[in-house]
């Protein structure tokens, strides 16, 4: 087996470390021209302004004009601001949406292009980019350590990741206290994304030992701490452990890439508005059962390594976790017709599907979506 491992992001983890932004920037020689891409809540409640003030001139602009599952037009707007103000670096403080927008904007701003030219077209991103400091405010995507930027082109009805080495942030500052304000349903959904990334990173065709170890570390933390973080938003231990799981699951999937559940999440989010993590979790137990005997028993070994008797027991626990944290386990409320199910099958045929250890046929997808369409 041949494998390469590289992780270029410096990680600073712990409560209160958001206050280190200025020092981190200074250590990178960045003392002026910073753009803070800020989560809405922090732009509204004064946190973003305080970060700008505390930066003592290093950060001069705030951009928060973007939506969850950011649109290519919003990236272009952020890039235009960077060009107009001749900005030199980007601090991305928010969930995956803020970080992904910031990553693409930090690259595209050095060209006169629209990001739409690179989104889902296969055109390679330019390698030059502004330095990025990532500050996640959800325990979910792991975007702070990945080279991925997931964008949506609402005009074309397309959601897809762009991958570029230029998207790796230079530094990730993970401050669990920033996640206390995340509402319970978002906590649940983003936490399910963590579990999906760990499990899919492990069983991906591109699996490798270091990422396996990360997946085995991250997944049990989600089973244990996600219900607590949902029920008690200010529980310091649960928030800290979910942030730990999130960044380590990010490391688990970045190189192997995600698989079937992520492939299916794209149309579920794009067409039916199901939040990203909830959409991933919806099919995770189904694919666990499909993949259970793949890779000469590796998936069974994973289930045992994280404390289950076998993959079926793990799949049952995923289902129970969804129920416990209030996530959907079916699509019955959407009253899907045959044409809508056919669309889900067709659009799930995303490149990530081909990383799944078992070949997924259209019949399998049809079977799964019909089952989900009939399930509460
Ligand atoms: P998000 O960033 O879309 O945020 C979800 C909601 O929570 C938003 O309404 C946001 O305003 C709010 N929010 C975020 N932080 C908050 C806080 N601290 N307090 C209160 N509210 C807060 O959600 P996400 O799950 O973090 O990111 C999802 C996006 O990331 C999707 O587009 C997904 O496809 C993408 N993604 C990217 C990667 C990657 O490697 N780049 C990996 C997985 C997913």
pLDDT score for 182: 98
pLDDT score for 159: 85
Distance 319 CA to ligand 1 centre (A): 22
* DSSP β-ladder status, 148-153 and 158-163: antiparallel
Phi, psi of 105 (to 5 degrees): -65, -40
Ranges for all domains in the chain classified under CATH 1.20.1090.10: 184-373
For ligand 1, atom 43: residue with the closest CA: 141
Ranges under pLDDT 50 in the chain:
none
For ligand 1, atom 9: residue with the closest CA: 68
CATH (residue range 184-373): 1.20.1090.10
pLDDT score for 156: 92
Distance 38 CA to ligand 1 centre (A): 12
Distance 68 CA to ligand 1 centre (A): 6
Distance 95 CA to ligand 1 centre (A): 4
How far apart are alpha carbons 235 and 244 in whole angstroms? 14
Question: pLDDT by residue (tens digit) across 155-207?
Answer: 998 888 899 999 999 999 999 999 999 999 999 999 999 999 999 999 999 99
Q: Three-state secondary structure along the chain?
A: CCCCCCCCCEEEECCCHHHHHHHHHHHCCCCCCEEEEECHHHHHCCHHHHHHHHCCCCEEEEECCCCCCCEHHHHHHHHHHHHHHCCCEEEEEECHHHHHHHHHHHHHCCCCCCHHHCCCCCCCCCCCCCCEEEEECCCCCCHHHCCEEEEEECCCCEEEEEECHHHCCCEEEECHHHHCCCCHHHHHHHHHHHHHHHHHHHHCCCCCHHHHHHHHHHHHHHHHHHHHHHHCCCCHHHHHHHHHHHHHHHHHHHCCCCCHHHHHHHHHHHHHCCCHHHHHHHHHHHHHHHHCCCHHHHHHHHHHHCCCCCHHHHHHHHHHHHHHHCCCCCCHHHCCCHHHHHHHHHHCCCHHHHHCCCCCCHHHHHHHHHHHHCCC
What percent of the chain shows pLDDT beyond 90?
98
Closest approach atom of ligand 1 to CA 39: 11
Ranges for all domains in the chain classified under CATH 3.40.50.1970: 10-178
Question: Which of 71, 149, 150, 172 gets mutated to test ligand 1 (max ligand atoms within 8 A of its CB)?
Answer: 150
pTM above 0.95, yes or no: yes
pLDDT score for 158: 86
For ligand 1, atom 27: residue with the closest CA: 96
Instruction: List all residues whose CB is within 6 A of at least one atom of ligand 1.
Output: 39-41, 68-69, 94-98, 100, 137-138, 140-143, 146, 148-150, 178-179, 181-182, 186, 190, 193, 276-277
Question: pLDDT by residue (tens digit) across 119-145?
Answer: 999 999 999 999 999 999 999 999 999
Distance 109 CA to ligand 1 centre (A): 22
Distance 259 CA to ligand 1 centre (A): 19
Distance 310 CA to ligand 1 centre (A): 32
CATH 3.30.1330.60 fits 10-178, yes or no: no
The ipTM value here is: 0.99
């Amino acid at each position: 087996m041949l494998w390469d491992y590289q992780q270029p992001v410096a990680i600073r983890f712990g409560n209160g470390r958001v206050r280190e932004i200025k020092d981190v920037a200074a250590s990178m020689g960045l003392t002026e021209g910073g753009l803070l891409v800020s989560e809405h809540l922090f732009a509204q409640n004064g946190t973003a302004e305080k970060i700008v003030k505390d930066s003592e001139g290093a950060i001069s602009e705030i951009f928060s004009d973007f939506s969850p599952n950011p649109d290519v037009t919003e990236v272009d707007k952020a890039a235009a601001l960077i060009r107009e103000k001749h900005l030199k670096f980007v601090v991305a403080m928010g969930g995956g949406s803020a970080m992904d927008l910031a990553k693409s904007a930090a690259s595209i701003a050095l060209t006169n292009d629209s990001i739409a030219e690179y989104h889902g077209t296969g055109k390679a991103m330019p390698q030059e980019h502004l330095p990025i400091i990532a500050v996640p405010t959800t325990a979910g995507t792991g975007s702070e350590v990945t080279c991925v930027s997931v964008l949506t082109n609402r005009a074309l009805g397309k959601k897809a990741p762009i991958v570029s080495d230029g998207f790796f942030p230079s530094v990730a500052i993970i401050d669990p206290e920033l996640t206390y304000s995340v509402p319970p349903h978002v906590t649940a959904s983003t936490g399910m994304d963590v579990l999906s990334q760990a499990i899919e990173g492990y069983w991906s065709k591109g699996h490798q030992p270091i990422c396996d170890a990360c997946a085995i570390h991250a997944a049990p933390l989600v089973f244990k701490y996600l219900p607590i973080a949902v029920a008690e938003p200010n529980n310091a231990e649960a928030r800290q452990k979910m942030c730990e799981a999130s960044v380590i699951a990010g490391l688990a999937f970045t190189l192997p890439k995600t698989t079937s559940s992520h492939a299916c999440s794209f149309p579920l989010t794009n067409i039916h508005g199901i939040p990203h993590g909830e959409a991933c979790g919806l099919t995770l137990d189904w694919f666990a059962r499909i993949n259970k005997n793949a890779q000469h028993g590796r998936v069974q070994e994973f289930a045992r390594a994280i404390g289950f008797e076998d993959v079926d027991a793990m799949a049952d626990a995923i289902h129970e976790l969804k129920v416990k944290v209030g996530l959907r386990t079916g699509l019955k409320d959407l009253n899907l017709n045959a044409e809508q199910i056919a669309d889900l099958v067709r659009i799930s045929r995303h490149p990530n599907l081909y990383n799944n250890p078992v070949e997924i046929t259209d019949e399998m997808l049809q079977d799964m979506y019909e089952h989900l369409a009939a399930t509460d």
